[in-house]
């Protein structure tokens, strides 16, 4: 596998530009809390859009469409469970967040239950982020392939 081909270069450039924008935009933040919650400057619409973009990603789009095609319309029952999950989160989980005012991450919340719980949660959250990033990059490659691929040569 060549890591200097056009596909990889596009991803490298995108990640580099995103990283530089984040560094530039985050210069004025003095603490981790200021950086993560952006001094509470965002309104409801950007926060909801960010959450939905994070939760509804390439994996759900590609795998749901493929599952409906391969297994039939019955798969829509499981796909419809996503709004139910949102409602459950809104009714039962979000109201409990008020009990953790100084916690910014799930690992910090679990840290209340002990150091090992915090470390395990941190490791599992990191693995989750790596897996989701891999899925997004795979989808990026699949989606951009028709635009880049030409007669078997790059």
Q: Domain locations in the chain?
A: 1-41, 43-148
Whole-number pLDDT of residue 65: 77
pLDDT along the chain (154 residues), means of 10: 74 89 79 73 81 72 78 82 86 88 85 92 93 84 70 52
Whole-number pLDDT of residue 128: 92
Contacts of 5 (CB under 8 A, 6+ apart): 154
Distance of CA 26 to CAs 16, 37, 46, 98, 121, Å? 15, 11, 17, 26, 26
Whole-number pLDDT of residue 82: 78
Whole-number pLDDT of residue 17: 93
d(CA 61, CA 39): 33
Whole-number pLDDT of residue 23: 83
Contact criterion met (CB below 8 Å) for 75 and 67: yes
Contact criterion met (CB below 8 Å) for 116 and 35: no
CA atoms within 13 A on the CB side of 73: 0
| Nearest-5° Cα angle at 25, 12 to 98 | 105
Whole-number pLDDT of residue 2: 66
Q: Please list the residues that pair with 153 across neighbouring strands.
A: 150
**The two structure tokens encoding residue 126:** 């990191």
d(CA 84, CA 77): 11
């Amino acid at each position: 596998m060549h890591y200097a081909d056009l596909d990889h270069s596009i991803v490298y450039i995108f990640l580099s530009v995103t990283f530089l924008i984040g560094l530039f935009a985050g210069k004025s933040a003095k603490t981790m809390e200021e950086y993560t919650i952006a001094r509470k400057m965002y309104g409801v619409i950007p926060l909801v859009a960010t959450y939905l973009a994070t939760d509804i990603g390439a994996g759900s789009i590609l795998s749901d469409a493929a599952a409906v095609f391969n297994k039939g319309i019955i798969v829509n029952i499981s796909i419809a469970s996503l709004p139910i999950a949102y409602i459950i989160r809104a009714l039962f989980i979000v109201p409990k967040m008020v009990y953790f005012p100084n916690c910014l991450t799930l690992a910090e919340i679990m840290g209340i239950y002990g150091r090992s719980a915090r470390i395990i949660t941190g490791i599992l959250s990191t693995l989750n982020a790596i897996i989701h990033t891999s899925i997004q990059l795979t989808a990026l490659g699949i989606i951009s392939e028709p635009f880049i691929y030409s007669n078997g040569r790059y």
